[in-house]
Structure 1
Amino acid sequence: MRWEGTCYRAHDPKWAWSPISGAGAAAKGGRFNPIGTPALYLALTVEGMLVEMGHGFGHRFDPLTICSYNVDVDDIVDLRTDSGRAREAIDLASMACPWAYDLATGKLPASWEIAKSLIAKGAAGILSPSFATGARSDMANLILWRWGSDLPHKVEVHDPSGRLPKDQLSWS
Protein backbone atom coordinates (compact mmCIF):
# COMPACT_ATOMS: atom_id res chain seq x y z
CA MET A 1 0.00 0.00 0.00
CA ARG A 2 0.99 3.63 -0.36
CA TRP A 3 1.28 5.87 2.69
CA GLU A 4 1.60 9.64 2.49
CA GLY A 5 1.77 12.16 5.32
CA THR A 6 3.85 13.81 8.02
CA CYS A 7 5.86 11.78 10.51
CA TYR A 8 8.01 12.68 13.52
CA ARG A 9 11.26 11.50 15.05
CA ALA A 10 13.45 12.43 18.01
CA HIS A 11 17.15 11.88 17.24
CA ASP A 12 20.27 11.58 19.28
CA PRO A 13 21.81 15.00 18.52
CA LYS A 14 24.95 13.34 17.14
CA TRP A 15 22.80 12.18 14.19
CA ALA A 16 21.14 15.58 13.61
CA TRP A 17 23.39 16.16 10.59
CA SER A 18 22.02 12.99 8.93
CA PRO A 19 18.40 12.63 10.05
CA ILE A 20 17.41 10.08 7.41
CA SER A 21 20.48 7.85 7.45
CA GLY A 22 19.23 4.79 9.35
CA ALA A 23 22.85 4.05 10.29
CA GLY A 24 22.25 4.27 14.03
CA ALA A 25 19.46 1.70 13.80
CA ALA A 26 21.65 -0.56 11.65
CA ALA A 27 24.47 -0.39 14.19
CA LYS A 28 22.37 -1.41 17.18
CA GLY A 29 19.33 -3.11 15.67
CA GLY A 30 15.78 -2.33 16.69
CA ARG A 31 12.45 -4.01 17.18
CA PHE A 32 11.97 -4.44 13.43
CA ASN A 33 15.52 -4.34 12.09
CA PRO A 34 18.24 -6.87 12.77
CA ILE A 35 21.74 -5.52 13.39
CA GLY A 36 23.17 -4.50 10.02
CA THR A 37 19.77 -3.63 8.53
CA PRO A 38 19.23 0.13 8.18
CA ALA A 39 15.82 1.34 9.32
CA LEU A 40 14.06 4.62 9.84
CA TYR A 41 11.57 4.60 12.72
CA LEU A 42 8.99 7.40 12.45
CA ALA A 43 6.01 8.17 14.69
CA LEU A 44 2.73 9.09 13.03
CA THR A 45 1.92 11.70 15.68
CA VAL A 46 3.85 14.16 17.84
CA GLU A 47 2.37 12.53 20.94
CA GLY A 48 3.51 9.12 19.75
CA MET A 49 7.01 10.47 19.17
CA LEU A 50 7.11 11.81 22.74
CA VAL A 51 6.13 8.40 24.12
CA GLU A 52 8.71 6.65 21.93
CA MET A 53 11.52 9.02 22.90
CA GLY A 54 10.79 8.78 26.61
CA HIS A 55 11.39 5.02 26.77
CA GLY A 56 8.80 4.79 29.52
CA PHE A 57 10.23 7.66 31.57
CA GLY A 58 7.62 10.36 31.18
CA HIS A 59 9.56 13.18 32.81
CA ARG A 60 13.22 12.37 32.06
CA PHE A 61 14.93 11.94 28.75
CA ASP A 62 18.31 12.68 27.23
CA PRO A 63 18.76 15.72 24.96
CA LEU A 64 17.23 15.10 21.54
CA THR A 65 16.77 16.76 18.17
CA ILE A 66 13.16 16.63 17.00
CA CYS A 67 12.33 16.59 13.29
CA SER A 68 9.25 16.23 11.15
CA TYR A 69 9.29 14.45 7.81
CA ASN A 70 7.32 14.64 4.59
CA VAL A 71 6.73 11.04 3.58
CA ASP A 72 5.33 9.47 0.40
CA VAL A 73 6.13 5.76 0.33
CA ASP A 74 4.81 2.70 -1.46
CA ASP A 75 5.22 -1.01 -0.71
CA ILE A 76 4.10 -0.54 2.90
CA VAL A 77 2.50 -3.38 4.86
CA ASP A 78 -0.11 -2.20 7.37
CA LEU A 79 0.13 -4.30 10.54
CA ARG A 80 -1.88 -1.98 12.80
CA THR A 81 -5.04 -4.10 12.72
CA ASP A 82 -5.96 -7.74 13.27
CA SER A 83 -7.02 -8.03 9.63
CA GLY A 84 -3.77 -6.51 8.38
CA ARG A 85 -1.72 -8.92 10.48
CA ALA A 86 -3.89 -11.87 9.40
CA ARG A 87 -3.23 -11.08 5.72
CA GLU A 88 0.48 -11.56 6.41
CA ALA A 89 0.06 -14.42 8.93
CA ILE A 90 1.70 -12.31 11.64
CA ASP A 91 0.59 -12.35 15.26
CA LEU A 92 0.69 -9.35 17.57
CA ALA A 93 2.63 -11.25 20.25
CA SER A 94 5.54 -11.79 17.84
CA MET A 95 5.53 -8.09 16.98
CA ALA A 96 5.44 -7.16 20.68
CA CYS A 97 8.19 -9.61 21.71
CA PRO A 98 10.82 -8.43 24.22
CA TRP A 99 13.29 -8.05 21.35
CA ALA A 100 16.10 -6.39 23.35
CA TYR A 101 15.89 -9.03 26.09
CA ASP A 102 15.81 -11.80 23.51
CA LEU A 103 18.89 -10.37 21.84
CA ALA A 104 20.72 -9.98 25.16
CA THR A 105 20.01 -13.62 26.05
CA GLY A 106 21.10 -15.01 22.69
CA LYS A 107 17.63 -15.61 21.29
CA LEU A 108 16.61 -14.39 17.83
CA PRO A 109 13.77 -11.86 18.31
CA ALA A 110 10.51 -12.93 16.66
CA SER A 111 10.07 -9.38 15.37
CA TRP A 112 13.34 -9.72 13.41
CA GLU A 113 11.91 -12.79 11.66
CA ILE A 114 8.88 -10.70 10.70
CA ALA A 115 11.12 -7.97 9.28
CA LYS A 116 13.32 -10.41 7.36
CA SER A 117 10.29 -12.14 5.84
CA LEU A 118 8.60 -8.90 4.76
CA ILE A 119 11.85 -7.45 3.35
CA ALA A 120 12.32 -10.65 1.34
CA LYS A 121 8.80 -10.19 -0.08
CA GLY A 122 9.71 -6.67 -1.26
CA ALA A 123 8.15 -4.57 1.50
CA ALA A 124 9.70 -1.14 1.95
CA GLY A 125 8.34 -0.87 5.48
CA ILE A 126 5.47 -1.40 7.87
CA LEU A 127 2.88 0.53 9.80
CA SER A 128 2.94 -0.87 13.33
CA PRO A 129 1.23 -0.19 16.62
CA SER A 130 3.52 1.49 19.12
CA PHE A 131 4.90 -0.87 21.74
CA ALA A 132 6.45 1.90 23.84
CA THR A 133 5.58 1.98 27.53
CA GLY A 134 2.63 4.32 27.96
CA ALA A 135 1.53 4.22 24.32
CA ARG A 136 -2.18 4.50 23.66
CA SER A 137 -3.83 2.00 21.34
CA ASP A 138 -4.17 4.67 18.62
CA MET A 139 -0.41 5.42 18.52
CA ALA A 140 1.45 3.93 15.57
CA ASN A 141 4.79 4.07 13.80
CA LEU A 142 6.07 3.83 10.25
CA ILE A 143 9.21 1.72 10.08
CA LEU A 144 11.08 1.90 6.78
CA TRP A 145 13.73 -0.43 5.37
CA ARG A 146 13.89 1.30 1.98
CA TRP A 147 13.68 5.06 1.55
CA GLY A 148 15.36 7.89 -0.27
CA SER A 149 14.83 11.27 -1.87
CA ASP A 150 12.68 9.99 -4.76
CA LEU A 151 9.38 8.21 -5.26
CA PRO A 152 8.18 5.57 -4.66
CA HIS A 153 9.96 5.63 -1.28
CA LYS A 154 10.36 9.36 -0.68
CA VAL A 155 11.29 10.75 2.73
CA GLU A 156 12.37 14.35 3.29
CA VAL A 157 13.20 16.01 6.58
CA HIS A 158 11.30 19.29 6.95
CA ASP A 159 14.07 21.89 7.39
CA PRO A 160 13.09 24.96 5.35
CA SER A 161 15.40 27.27 7.34
CA GLY A 162 18.44 25.00 7.10
CA ARG A 163 18.78 24.71 10.88
CA LEU A 164 20.13 21.17 10.93
CA PRO A 165 23.92 20.82 10.91
CA LYS A 166 25.57 19.64 7.69
CA ASP A 167 28.10 17.31 9.34
CA GLN A 168 29.46 16.22 12.74
CA LEU A 169 31.89 19.17 12.75
CA SER A 170 28.94 21.55 13.03
CA TRP A 171 28.80 20.70 16.74
CA SER A 172 32.31 21.86 17.53
Structure 2
Amino acid sequence: MSLLALGFRHQGLVYRGHNPRWQHAPESGAGAVRCGGRWNPPGLSALCTSQRFETAWLEAQQGFPFKTQPLTLCTYRVDCGPMLDLCDPAIRQQVHPDPEDWLHEAWLEKALLGQPVIAWGIANRLIAMGFFGIRVPSQAQGATQRDINMVFWRWTKRAPSMVRVIDDEHRLHRRVEA
Protein backbone atom coordinates (compact mmCIF):
# COMPACT_ATOMS: atom_id res chain seq x y z
CA MET A 1 0.00 0.00 0.00
CA SER A 2 1.31 3.46 -0.86
CA LEU A 3 1.96 5.99 1.88
CA LEU A 4 -0.58 8.41 0.39
CA ALA A 5 -3.27 5.73 0.80
CA LEU A 6 -2.45 5.76 4.54
CA GLY A 7 -3.13 9.49 4.80
CA PHE A 8 -5.95 10.85 6.92
CA ARG A 9 -7.90 14.08 7.26
CA HIS A 10 -7.53 15.79 10.65
CA GLN A 11 -10.61 17.61 11.88
CA GLY A 12 -10.62 19.21 15.30
CA LEU A 13 -8.60 21.57 17.45
CA VAL A 14 -4.85 21.98 17.88
CA TYR A 15 -2.80 24.38 19.99
CA ARG A 16 0.31 26.46 19.51
CA GLY A 17 2.37 28.50 21.90
CA HIS A 18 4.51 31.10 20.17
CA ASN A 19 6.58 34.16 20.84
CA PRO A 20 4.30 37.17 21.49
CA ARG A 21 6.08 39.10 18.73
CA TRP A 22 4.17 36.86 16.26
CA GLN A 23 0.73 37.44 17.79
CA HIS A 24 -0.17 39.69 14.85
CA ALA A 25 0.35 36.77 12.41
CA PRO A 26 -0.37 33.46 14.21
CA GLU A 27 -1.03 31.61 10.94
CA SER A 28 1.96 32.91 8.97
CA GLY A 29 4.73 30.34 9.50
CA ALA A 30 7.17 33.16 8.70
CA GLY A 31 9.48 32.36 11.60
CA ALA A 32 9.73 28.75 10.44
CA VAL A 33 10.59 29.87 6.90
CA ARG A 34 13.39 32.06 8.19
CA CYS A 35 14.88 29.76 10.83
CA GLY A 36 13.73 26.25 9.95
CA GLY A 37 12.73 23.63 12.49
CA ARG A 38 12.80 19.90 13.15
CA TRP A 39 10.38 19.23 10.26
CA ASN A 40 11.22 22.07 7.88
CA PRO A 41 14.52 23.34 6.52
CA PRO A 42 14.94 27.12 6.25
CA GLY A 43 12.88 28.34 3.31
CA LEU A 44 10.05 25.85 3.88
CA SER A 45 7.01 27.13 5.76
CA ALA A 46 5.58 25.08 8.59
CA LEU A 47 3.04 25.59 11.31
CA CYS A 48 3.92 23.37 14.26
CA THR A 49 1.00 22.73 16.58
CA SER A 50 0.10 20.26 19.33
CA GLN A 51 -2.94 18.14 20.05
CA ARG A 52 -2.98 19.23 23.72
CA PHE A 53 -2.36 22.71 25.09
CA GLU A 54 0.00 21.20 27.66
CA THR A 55 2.15 19.94 24.79
CA ALA A 56 2.06 23.35 23.12
CA TRP A 57 3.40 24.79 26.37
CA LEU A 58 6.23 22.22 26.51
CA GLU A 59 7.14 22.88 22.88
CA ALA A 60 7.17 26.66 23.30
CA GLN A 61 9.31 26.53 26.45
CA GLN A 62 12.08 24.33 25.03
CA GLY A 63 15.38 25.59 26.24
CA PHE A 64 13.74 27.32 29.21
CA PRO A 65 12.09 24.47 31.16
CA PHE A 66 12.68 26.10 34.53
CA LYS A 67 12.58 29.75 33.47
CA THR A 68 9.25 30.35 31.77
CA GLN A 69 9.34 32.87 28.94
CA PRO A 70 6.30 34.87 27.76
CA LEU A 71 4.23 33.22 25.08
CA THR A 72 0.93 33.54 23.29
CA LEU A 73 -1.11 30.33 23.43
CA CYS A 74 -3.59 29.95 20.56
CA THR A 75 -6.20 27.40 19.55
CA TYR A 76 -6.66 26.51 15.89
CA ARG A 77 -9.61 24.89 14.14
CA VAL A 78 -8.40 22.29 11.64
CA ASP A 79 -9.95 20.53 8.66
CA CYS A 80 -6.85 19.46 6.77
CA GLY A 81 -5.56 16.50 4.87
CA PRO A 82 -3.99 14.37 3.72
CA MET A 83 -1.83 14.03 6.82
CA LEU A 84 0.46 11.12 7.69
CA ASP A 85 0.53 9.62 11.19
CA LEU A 86 4.17 9.17 12.16
CA CYS A 87 3.05 8.06 15.63
CA ASP A 88 2.18 4.72 14.04
CA PRO A 89 5.27 2.45 14.20
CA ALA A 90 4.31 0.61 10.98
CA ILE A 91 4.05 3.88 9.06
CA ARG A 92 7.31 5.15 10.57
CA GLN A 93 9.03 2.01 9.30
CA GLN A 94 7.73 2.67 5.77
CA VAL A 95 8.89 6.29 5.88
CA HIS A 96 12.47 5.50 6.94
CA PRO A 97 14.06 2.11 7.70
CA ASP A 98 15.39 3.14 11.13
CA PRO A 99 12.87 5.46 12.82
CA GLU A 100 15.08 5.96 15.88
CA ASP A 101 17.58 7.73 13.59
CA TRP A 102 15.14 10.57 12.95
CA LEU A 103 12.75 10.44 15.89
CA HIS A 104 15.47 11.53 18.31
CA GLU A 105 17.72 13.23 15.77
CA ALA A 106 19.82 16.16 17.01
CA TRP A 107 18.58 18.09 13.98
CA LEU A 108 19.73 21.55 15.08
CA GLU A 109 23.27 20.42 15.80
CA LYS A 110 23.41 18.63 12.44
CA ALA A 111 22.02 21.66 10.61
CA LEU A 112 24.58 23.98 12.25
CA LEU A 113 27.36 21.60 11.21
CA GLY A 114 26.04 21.49 7.63
CA GLN A 115 25.15 17.80 7.91
CA PRO A 116 22.02 16.30 6.33
CA VAL A 117 18.95 16.37 8.58
CA ILE A 118 16.96 13.16 8.10
CA ALA A 119 13.65 14.76 9.12
CA TRP A 120 14.07 17.47 6.45
CA GLY A 121 14.52 14.81 3.78
CA ILE A 122 11.43 13.00 5.04
CA ALA A 123 9.43 16.24 5.01
CA ASN A 124 10.48 17.08 1.45
CA ARG A 125 9.58 13.56 0.30
CA LEU A 126 6.15 13.61 1.97
CA ILE A 127 5.34 17.06 0.60
CA ALA A 128 6.28 15.90 -2.91
CA MET A 129 3.90 12.95 -2.42
CA GLY A 130 1.03 15.35 -1.65
CA PHE A 131 0.85 15.35 2.15
CA PHE A 132 -0.16 18.59 3.84
CA GLY A 133 1.44 17.63 7.14
CA ILE A 134 2.21 14.99 9.74
CA ARG A 135 1.22 13.80 13.20
CA VAL A 136 4.38 13.09 15.18
CA PRO A 137 5.47 12.43 18.78
CA SER A 138 6.74 15.50 20.62
CA GLN A 139 10.46 15.53 21.34
CA ALA A 140 10.20 18.38 23.88
CA GLN A 141 11.89 17.91 27.23
CA GLY A 142 9.40 16.28 29.60
CA ALA A 143 7.14 14.99 26.80
CA THR A 144 5.27 11.71 27.30
CA GLN A 145 3.38 9.42 24.92
CA ARG A 146 0.37 11.74 25.27
CA ASP A 147 2.32 14.64 23.76
CA ILE A 148 1.64 14.65 20.03
CA ASN A 149 2.37 17.39 17.49
CA MET A 150 0.68 18.20 14.21
CA VAL A 151 3.03 19.86 11.71
CA PHE A 152 1.40 21.54 8.71
CA TRP A 153 3.34 22.38 5.55
CA ARG A 154 0.34 23.48 3.52
CA TRP A 155 -2.55 25.34 5.06
CA THR A 156 -5.16 27.91 4.13
CA LYS A 157 -8.22 29.43 5.75
CA ARG A 158 -10.55 26.88 4.09
CA ALA A 159 -10.92 23.09 3.83
CA PRO A 160 -9.40 20.85 2.55
CA SER A 161 -6.32 22.55 4.01
CA MET A 162 -7.87 24.68 6.77
CA VAL A 163 -5.82 25.64 9.81
CA ARG A 164 -7.35 28.81 11.33
CA VAL A 165 -6.63 30.48 14.61
CA ILE A 166 -9.68 30.97 16.82
CA ASP A 167 -9.80 34.66 17.68
CA ASP A 168 -13.49 35.59 17.83
CA GLU A 169 -12.74 38.74 19.86
CA HIS A 170 -9.84 39.85 17.61
CA ARG A 171 -7.43 39.99 20.54
CA LEU A 172 -4.38 39.03 18.47
CA HIS A 173 -4.55 42.08 16.22
CA ARG A 174 -5.28 44.69 18.90
CA ARG A 175 -2.71 47.24 19.89
CA VAL A 176 -1.75 47.01 23.50
CA GLU A 177 -2.37 50.31 25.26
CA ALA A 178 0.16 51.39 27.86
TM-score bracket relative to the smaller structure = over 0.9
Once superposed, what is the RMSD of the aligned Cα atoms? Answer: 1.5
Residue equivalent to 1:156: 164
Q: How does 1:21-170 map to 2 (within 5 A)?
A: 21-89=28-96, 91-165=99-173, 170=175
Once the two structures are aligned, what percentage of the paired residues are identical?
A: 36
- TM-score (structure 1 length as normaliser): 0.92
Q: Is the 8 A contact 1:78 1:128 kept in 2?
A: yes
Unaligned 5+ residue runs, structure 1?
Answer: none
Cα deviation, 1:65-113, whole Å, max 9, x if unaligned, reads: 1111111111101101212212434524213210100011111211111
Query: Which amino acid in the other structure matches residue 95 of structure 2?
Result: E
User: 1:114 & 1:60 partners in 2: Cα distance?
Assistant: 33
> Which SS does the other structure have where 1:33 is aligned?
coil
Q: Name the CA distance, whole Å, in 1 between partners of 2:109 and 2:38.
A: 11
TM-score w.r.t. structure 2 length? 0.89
Q: CA deviation at 1:21?
A: 0.4
Counterpart residue number, 1:5: 12
Matched, 1:17 2:24: yes
